[in-house]
Structure 1
């Protein structure tokens, strides 16, 4: 693609993002800064349409960007200017950072509250939906204890390496004495501390023959209950501002789009997969519907960035909005929020 075509495509996408209407040759002539005849512009637009970067709606002579066009735009046409190159931009970003930092700071802010605050902040500043995938908890345990509740009901207490405590009630086929429960806990803590319950299950397949039958059934029940407890607490996603997307015509213009939109929030499978992919990359990632199978709606885009604790990536946050969003405004919001959340969690 030559520079003339790139300039016209960039102008077309910027005007479409700003106005939400198909862009015609007259608008491109006015805003592109190029001295081209309407006929030349129409020829270039025809070439861009043939290459799959723009499309022509049936109801208009103008063109709109395709997912492929948006991808080229965000990958090579958005320029991130360093702070020292533009005093006005530097002031805007500094103000943005101050707003976010003010939201995340405070003596009452626990790590969990910081994460929910980050989701609300992303939504409020972007005016779309903010999403944060919480840090994955360690699947291993530091210690387990058994406490007898009644003749055949036992409370399993699981302590994670971070000191978090999970409780699960186990129904047993036979009664156990307090001494037997201490014996079972000691066996767990001596042989399996630091392992995941799945790893314990594998070890026990081999080692159960060394245990008495009455103790082995208790051990198996504890492993299943512990594995279930860890699985339920993993991969939590906080979403804020879903209702803001109802005001976005591109996403709420039909019942089919609305149904698919709320499927994303209700089931979260695609969202979790997308956020997990983002956690393995550095910096801001942009997923555009129609060209990314992880985004189930063509008119939807997701901008994400990983966040860290003490230099280790532990989760992902981002903004969910329409493909027709002001990327140059939303990208810094996501980027700065990720950096400040990383800093706040590390200090905490």
Structure 2
């Protein structure tokens, strides 16, 4: 446990480092903290904080910088969210994909870092299905979800079908299976397959399988905006290795999806500090995230990715506001 003096000095050090990115010396810390302490006393406190793993001394400087552990203590116990008056544009109720893209861009422009949004989780329910013959044994299946999202997939079949037969199959599916999940349709078809013509049943099963794949792939979608903003952050512009690793993370997306999936299980805004766990494996990056809802049910997550040295109070406010805007826009889209 830290005494009050140590907490005040750690808070001042973290805030000063976030502001200018330079290691903080005892003289600077004395002015920043506003405490009437001798330089020797401050050096002693800094030595204690370093022994606790809360700050570290870069080899090139006599000053100190926060560690991941120091940032975590600051975020959890010393941070007061900055409730500045932001006036972000409203997200207009629209197709879910448009709302997600606009939200990622909004997060990026407000934060000047990277905005990320995980697309809403969907149940694999379809509202309408159509088939289009492309060539012999090759067909396009068009699936429309209840929220208006459209997925297209190509089916290959050893049996060729006329467009009339494809319309017949689509009409049958639309008449008997609309509103069911793809899994429910698959189970029903398995029991009813004997009453259907063999080639028609085969086409239906193929359609259900590719439809399921389409919905599953949509689940994994994450929209990223503003990667180039990191070029203006000194923590990255001065170290091409750090920048390359960050861009590799954005390109692969798997790690981001895993992080956002974890975030969706938590309430409110969460902060993940780089280097403190495998959730964010890079010490140079931190993530501020929050889940968003549709009609009161959590369906996805969004957030800001930026340098560990980010103004967390402002980021909390930006992420919180945007999650509310997205929730409102998606809940009012019918």
TM-score computed with the length of structure 2 as normaliser: 0.87
- Counterpart-to-counterpart distance in 2, 1:205 and 1:111: 33
Deviations 1:5-55 (A, max 9, x none): 111111111111112111111122222232322222222211111111111
Larger mean Cα displacement after TM superposition, 197-206 or 272-281: 197-206
- Counterpart-to-counterpart distance in 1, 2:50 and 2:102: 43
Conservation of the 8 A alpha-carbon contact between 2:96 and 2:149: no
Counterpart for residue 42 of structure 2: 41
Counterpart for residue 5 of structure 1: 6
Greater relative contact order: 1 or 2 (C-alpha under 8 angstroms, separation 6 or more)?
A: 2
- Counterpart-to-counterpart distance in 1, 2:56 and 2:295: 46
Alpha-carbon offset, residue 194 of structure 1: 3.9
- Counterpart-to-counterpart distance in 2, 1:139 and 1:45: 56
- Counterpart-to-counterpart distance in 1, 2:157 and 2:318: 52
Counterpart secondary structure, 1:104: coil
- Count residues with an aligned counterpart: 332
Counterpart for residue 73 of structure 1: 74
Alpha-carbon offset, residue 313 of structure 1: 2.0
Q: How do residues 95-106 of structure 1 correspond to structure 2 at under 5 angstroms?
A: 96=86, 99-100=87-88, 103-104=89-90
Deviations 1:215-247 (A, max 9, x none): 443233223322232233333222221111012
Counterpart for residue 168 of structure 1: 153
Deviations 1:264-294 (A, max 9, x none): 1111111111112212211111111001322
TM-score computed with the length of structure 1 as normaliser: 0.84
Conservation of the 8 A alpha-carbon contact between 1:132 and 1:239: yes
- Counterpart-to-counterpart distance in 1, 2:223 and 2:207: 30
Counterpart for residue 29 of structure 1: 30
Counterpart for residue 332 of structure 2: 347
Larger mean Cα displacement after TM superposition, 33-42 or 281-290: 33-42
- The reply on whether 1:138 has 2:123 as its aligned counterpart is yes
- Counterpart-to-counterpart distance in 2, 1:234 and 1:55: 41
- Counterpart-to-counterpart distance in 1, 2:127 and 2:98: 25
CA change 1:190–1:120 in 2 (3 A) is closer
* Structure 1, unpaired ranges of 5+: 82-88
Structure 1 ranges of 4+ moved more than 6 A? none
CA change 1:41–1:330 in 2 (3 A) is same
CA change 1:41–1:283 in 2 (3 A) is same
* Structure 2, unpaired ranges of 5+: none
CA change 1:149–1:137 in 2 (3 A) is same
Conservation of the 8 A alpha-carbon contact between 1:143 and 1:160: yes
Conservation of the 8 A alpha-carbon contact between 1:128 and 1:244: yes
CA change 1:206–1:54 in 2 (3 A) is farther
- The reply on whether 1:264 has 2:249 as its aligned counterpart is yes
Q: CA RMSD in A?
A: 2.7
Q: How do residues 133-212 of structure 1 correspond to structure 2 at under 5 angstroms?
A: 133-176=118-161, 181=166, 184-185=169-170, 188=173, 192-198=177-183, 200-201=185-186
